[in-house]
Amino acid sequence: MQPRNMSMSGVVDLAAVKAAAEAKAKAEQARADAARQAAEGGAPAAGGAVSPSALVIDVDEAGFERDVLQLSSEVPVILDFWAEWCQPCKQLSPLLERLVVEANGRLVMAKIDVDANQLLMQQFGIQGIPAVFAVVAGQVLPLFQGVAPEQEIRATLAQLVQVAEERFGIIGIPVDANAEGGAPGGAAAAEAPAGPHDALLEAAVSALDAGDLAGAVRAYGNVLAEDPANTEAKLGLAQAELLARVKGMNPQAVRAKAAENPKDPQAQIDAADLDMAGGHVQDAFGRLVDAVRVTAGDDRNAVRVRLLELFEVIGADDPRVSAARTALSRALF
């Protein structure tokens, strides 16, 4: 069985934008604090840095609550159900271990021997091994069963990290890169200084919290005026602008017009905004790619520009953006 992509629909749902923005801000602030502490030679506030070897642990039924459920409030925990006699497990487990260590504290792997932990196997409803789950903030997410290509597993884990950060503000645990040979990216990654725009970002989030979309747009714009590469501000600005555009729309009328006028660029743009604000990300992208195919000149360019703007709502590193960029290129050329 291939890895099952985790659903991220609703990432920009109107009711969830505020929570997502706050979780993102929390994650960025925690990462900046950890980087600053590492640069100053201090210990992290919670628990201290761990060695790379501590990122892969063996877990049994007795320690499951402590080693998995409680830990999942700090870092996503990958559950690898395996057995000594399972040949596919011997292929998958080393790959998972390597990818977890490469994640440099953003993931932890918990290995569970099904022969010694039959109760856990039953509770998770496992029919075959290897079977891989994730636990984030106490919530269990089935990932995949069986062996799959590294690229697909890597993409699944990347989505998991993104969900943990953006929905829960969980950024992982600090790793001591000097312990036991170090982990990839450890010391160099820790040297990034804290951003100087915390007050401006806080003002933007506060404006969004208060429903002041125009104020949020201005505040995020102020951050970008001083720091054009600030990814959090780019994300927040795109979300605030989207919410401002759809605020006065009549969804039923907008969708009816789009259905009746598939070649009307503005009708498709408005409907795509509604799709995006409702969390239907792929519908929004697909609608605009289709509109690019049937329009030309200024109309086509307007559709293309709006699609690029919607990419910013969820961030350029989202796999759905990569897929939509490919589809857009094919539609254009």
Segment 77-100, tens digit of pLDDT = 999 999 988 888 988 999 999 999
The pair of three-digit structure tokens given for residue 157, joined into one six-digit string:
């884990």
Fold annotation for 249-332: 1.25.40
Is it true that domain 44-175 has CATH number 2.40.10.340?
no
pLDDT for the residue numbered 297: 92
> 21: closest CA among 185, 179, 242?
242
pLDDT at 298: 93
For CA atoms 255, 261, 265, 266, the dihedral sign is negative
Catalytic residue among 23, 34, 50, 86: 86
Q: What is the pLDDT of residue 227?
A: 84
**Catalytic annotation on 86?**
yes
47: tokens are 């628990």
Structure tokens at 246: 């759809």
| Main-chain dihedrals φ then ψ at residue 87, nearest 5 degrees | -65, -45
The predicted model scores a pTM of 0.47
Question: What per-residue confidence (pLDDT) applies to 28?
Answer: 53
According to DSSP H, which parts of 124-250 are helical? 150-168, 186-189, 198-209, 213-226, 231-246
Does the annotation mark 89 as catalytic?
yes
Question: Which residues have CB under 8 Å from 57's CB, separation 6+?
Answer: 67, 108, 109, 110, 111
Q: Within the chain, which residues score under 50 in pLDDT?
A: 1-21, 34, 37-47, 180-194
- Every domain of the chain and the residues it spans: 44-175, 249-332
Q: Which amino acid is at 78?
A: I
Q: How does DSSP classify residue 175?
A: B
- Which residue among 21, 78, 79, 89 is the active-site one? 89
The dihedral built from the CA positions of residue 85, 90, 94 and 99, taken in this order, carries a sign that is: negative
Looking at residue 9, its pLDDT comes to 35
Q: Which two tokens stand for residue 107?
A: 């993931």
Tens digits of residue pLDDT in 111-158: 999 999 999 999 899 888 999 999 998 888 999 888 888 888 888 898
* Token pair for 227: 């720091």
